[in-house]
């Protein structure tokens, strides 16, 4: 029996790894266990509850004002005990978080084969996004098997001299999670969803906003809020709903600049099912999130990405997302164009999603079974 250890620590990782956990559990030839670092705590737990996953190991590492130095050291140190105890044959990490980078190192030290889900994404600018670009490059050098979401991601790995036999193009597991969840949430009896129903005005076009990226802290978020304020004031038939990230560097400027505007609703971060419901109800999405860039096209929602670079160029090339950075004029211009030009909106919303068909987990498991 092959022993799998699936490690993650944040809400986005949990969403993208949950379908892999649940798919592996269907196969008797695998003993699959889950370890969470809880790099994020509350937001992680919401996802675990929704997907009905109970971790076998919970490092519970989140601390107030944690920094990258101490978090990295804590993950490596604490994972040693888990790896020594379980002795996995395969360890699965995801994407580009500090958990991913540190868990890759710890698992390599333990002698396990390390598998990278969502491998090969690159901006090739080590400070954008920070620290994610370096995290994914470090994981890429360490990992034994690379599950790339797209051909472009595979080509990035080949350029770094990764052996082609160790790379599998799978699509992105976030689409597996989304397609499974999107229909379920529309019929759920859920407190947060019921609250959203009472909060939003169904007669207005709904713009969903998310933002949290470290590189946008400071002037970036001031620019973002300035743009959102202009959009709200000049489009009274539009309602902006913004689940505000708990980081003080985000929360402070957002509430200072956007409170008390009638058609802007600032709310607390949403559990995953409520967020999926809100994506489905939205007219367009403005975000700096990598995951939302992948999810929204499957729901037919145009996306404006508040970043200057992206490790997901396929969506830009396909036309399902537009990079607007934190440039006030560009955010306002592109938003107004999507609101006013029906043909432009329709063309963008009906494009093919380059990130998968919902069968990424099946492909990963088939690959591991045949090693």
Condensed to tens digits (0 to 9), the pLDDT of residues 202-239 reads: 899 999 999 988 888 889 999 999 999 999 999 999 99
pLDDT of residue 128: 86
Ranges of each domain in the chain: 2-172+356-369, 189-349
Mean per-residue pLDDT, 308-337 = 93
316 has pLDDT over 80: yes
pTM value?
Answer: 0.84
> What CA–CA distance (Å, rounded) separates 212 from 196?
21
Each residue's pLDDT tens digit, 167-187: 999 999 999 999 989 888 887
pLDDT at 143: 98
Identify the band that residue 66 occupies on the pLDDT scale cut at 50, 70 and 90: confident
Pick the CATH number of 189-349 from 3.30.750.210, 3.30.420.40, 3.40.50.2000, 3.20.20.70: 3.40.50.2000
Q: For 76-102, write each residue's pLDDT tens digit.
A: 999 999 999 999 999 999 999 999 999
Look at residue 89 in the predicted model and tell me its pLDDT.
98
107-142 pLDDT tens trace: 999 999 999 999 999 999 999 889 999 999 999 999
- Has residue 64 got a pLDDT over 90? no
Q: CB neighbours of 318 closer than 8 A, spacing ≥ 6?
A: 297, 351, 352, 353, 354
pLDDT given at position 175: 95
Report pLDDT digits (tens) over 136-169. Answer: 999 999 999 999 999 999 999 999 999 999 999 9
Q: Are the beta carbons of 148 and 126 closer than 8 angstroms? A: no
Encode pLDDT of 192-205 as tens digits: 999 999 999 989 99
Does this chain's domain 2-172+356-369 share its CATH topology with 189-349? yes
| pLDDT attached to residue 140 | 97
CB atoms within 10 A of CB 237: 10
Q: Report in angstroms the alpha-carbon separations of 115 from 72, 139, 300, 347, 370.
A: 19, 9, 31, 37, 15
Indicate whether 40 pLDDT > 80: no
CATH classification code of 2-172+356-369: 3.40.50.2000
* DSSP track, 113-138: EEEEET-----S-TTTTTTHHHHHHH
* Pair 358, 179: CB distance under 8 Å: yes
Q: How confident is the model at residue 312 (pLDDT cuts 50, 70, 90)?
A: confident
For the chain, the residue count is 371
Q: How many angstroms separate the Cα of 37 from the Cα of each of 144, 164, 246?
A: 22, 31, 19
What pLDDT shows up at residue 310?
A: 83
Active site residues: 96, 118, 132, 212, 214, 245
pLDDT, residue 113, reads: 98
Q: Distances from the Cα of 5 to the Cαs of 84, 142, 161, 234, 334, in angstroms?
A: 12, 16, 26, 51, 44
Token representation of residue 343: 């043909």
How much of the chain exceeds pLDDT 90, in percent?
Answer: 79
What pLDDT digit, counting tens, does each position of 263-296 carry?
999 999 998 999 999 999 999 999 998 888 889 9
pLDDT for 51? 94
Rounded CA separation 270/156 (Å): 34
pLDDT of residue 225: 95
Q: Categorise residue 341: left if φ over 0, alpha if ψ from -120 to 50, beta otherwise.
A: beta
Helix (H) or strand (E) holding 103: helix 98-110
């Amino acid at each position: 029996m092959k022993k799998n250890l699936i490690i993650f620590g944040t809400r986005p990782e949990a969403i993208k790894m949950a379908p892999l956990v649940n798919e592996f559990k269907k196969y008797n030839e695998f003993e699959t266990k889950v370890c969470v670092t809880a790099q994020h705590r509350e937001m992680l737990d919401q996802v675990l509850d929704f997907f009905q996953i109970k971790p076998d190991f919970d490092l519970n590492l989140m601390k107030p004002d944690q920094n990258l130095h101490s978090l990295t050291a804590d993950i490596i140190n604490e994972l040693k005990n888990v790896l020594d105890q379980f002795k996995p044959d395969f360890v699965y990490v995801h994407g580009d978080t500090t958990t991913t980078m540190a868990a890759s190192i710890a698992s390599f030290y333990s002698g396990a084969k390390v598998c990278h889900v969502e491998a090969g994404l690159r901006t090739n600018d080590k400070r954008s996004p920070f620290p994610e670009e370096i995290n994914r490059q470090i994981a890429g050098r360490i990992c034994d098997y690379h599950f790339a979401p797209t051909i472009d991601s595979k080509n990035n790995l080949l350029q770094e001299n990764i052996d082609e036999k160790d790379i599998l193009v799978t699509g992105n597991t976030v689409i597996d999670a989304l397609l499974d969840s999107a229909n379920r949430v529309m019929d759920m009896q859920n407190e947060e969803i019921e609250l959203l129903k009472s909060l939003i005005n169904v007669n207005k076009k709904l713009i969903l906003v998310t933002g949290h990226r470290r590189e946008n802290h400071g002037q970036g978020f001031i620019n973002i809020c300035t743009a959102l304020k202009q959009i709200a004031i000049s489009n009274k038939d539009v309602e902006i709903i913004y689940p505000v990230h708990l980081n003080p560097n985000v929360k402070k400027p957002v509430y200072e600049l956007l409170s008390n505007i009638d058609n802007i609703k600032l709310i607390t971060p949403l559990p995953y099912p409520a967020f999926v419901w809100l994506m489905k109800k939205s007219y367009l999405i403005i975000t700096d999130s990598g995951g939302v860039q992948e999810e929204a096209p499957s729901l037919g929602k145009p996306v404006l990405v508040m970043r200057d670079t992206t490790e997901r160029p396929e969506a830009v090339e396909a036309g399902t997302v537009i990079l607007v950075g934190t440039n006030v004029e560009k955010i306002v211009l592109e938003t107004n164009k999507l609101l006013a030009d029906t043909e432009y909106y329709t063309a963008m919303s009906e494009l093919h999603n380059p990130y998968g068909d919902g069968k990424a987990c099946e492909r990963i498991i088939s690959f591991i079974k045949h090693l």
